[in-house]
Copies of this chain bind each other. A is one copy, B any other.
Amino acid sequence: MQTEQVVPIRTPESSFDDEVVTVIGPDGKVRPEADPKLPVEQVLDLYKAMVRTRIIDTQLERLQRQGRIGFHIGSLGEEACIIGSAAAMRPQDWIFPCYREFGALLWRGFPLQSYVDNMFGNAEDVVMGRQMPDHYSGKKYNFGSVSSPIGTQMTQAVGFGWAAKKKGTDTVVSVYFGEGATSSNDFHTGMNFAGVMDAPVIFLCRNNRWAISVPSEKQTASKTFADKGVAYGVPAVRVDGNDFLATYAVVRECVEKSAKGEGPFLVEMLTYRVGGHSTSDDPRAYRASDEVDSWRQTDPLVRGRKHLDTLDAWSDAEDEAFRKDTEAELKACIAAAEEKPKPALSTMFEGVYDETPWHLKEQQEQCENGPRAKEHH
């Protein structure tokens, strides 16, 4: 038996590994080819949204350390890809979140007070304190519902987008997930169904290099995450996720194409999770501080600020004032949220079904007529 003959087994080649869309250069100047050429006020709005996100993250982390809220999962270092992609969606479009995109939620107009109420799980929390902090729902803002199980939002976004298209709208749906989530069942079925059903869905992969303690190299042997589009016939693109204009431009182009029926798309947004996975995590146990330091150099806010300088659109004093105002606004929201009562006992039993069935009524009665629990200990 001999097998010296040549059989064309292909070690797959990447179509993507050296092409990453960038707009803002290190000097803050734009590469005109890919520049979305947004009006200055809009650039400023995007920048301010990133700053606001950063401020909120910083404060909530502090609150958690003080034991005033139970949990927070933030977006330190990932603000550009979140705000840039959210801003690229048109008002009629929908956003299906992962758990790290409160910046997108607020961009959509969700009131800061409501968001903070969610962090406290109080009586005015839109989800009635039923879920952990950062597990909000924003239907009025064309924004989905956060759940913890990784990936599930992807197939849902596909069904939603397909439905919108069948109803004759030009609605596009974007769906966020981390690079770790590409290993999930729902990435596979979501991408595959999207490809087969021609769904107007933009898969937004935040490749922040880490899935809790697992680095992206251990997540998959594919050359890039964008390459995964090939398996589903879904066009893909890689973008500098720390560049809000590049992210905006790329996602906007996908939106316009999807709206014309040319979707779905997969966008790999290259960024970095500068903080811990969440307030429950201490990343010093598994990654080198110089890696983090080198990523701090690429801070999307610093880059954004440099760009504003090239536009002469924003002064240090304005920046200072904006930060102060935002902090004050947030402080007021926190103070208000902290004052609000817990959700009523009845909210635990209602809303499991449209109409509460007998067994839950019975249990509610038992609970309400029984003794109260001690507080958390």
Contacts and interface: CB of A to CB of B under 8 A. Distances in A.
Interface string A303-325: 00000000000000000000000
A220 interface: yes
A179 to B, nearest CB: 12
A204 B222 CA distance: 19
A139 interface: no
Contact of A37 (B1, B39, B188, B233): B1
Nearest to A256: B3
A221 B235 contact: no
Q: How many copies does the complex hold?
A: 2
Contact of A254 (B9, B14, B249): B9
Contacts of A142: none
Contact of A12 (B10, B15, B189): B15
A221 B236 CA distance: 14
B195 A221 contact: yes
Most-contacted residue by chain B among A15, A189, A218 (CB, 10 A)? A15
A84 interface: no
Interface in A230-273: 230-237, 249-250, 252-254, 256-257, 265
Contacts of A185: 185, 188-189
A8 B17 CA distance: 12
A6 interface: yes
A183 interface: yes
Interface stretch (A28-36, A46-54, A56-64, A343-351): A28-36
Contacts of A12: 15, 229-230, 233-236
A36 B5 contact: yes
A235 B189 contact: no
25 contacts: A1-B37, A1-B38, A1-B42, A2-B36, A3-B36, A6-B33, A7-B249, A7-B253, A8-B19, A9-B253, A9-B257, A9-B265, A10-B226, A10-B236, A12-B229, A12-B233, A12-B236, A183-B188, A185-B189, A187-B188, A195-B220, A196-B219, A222-B230, A227-B231, A230-B231
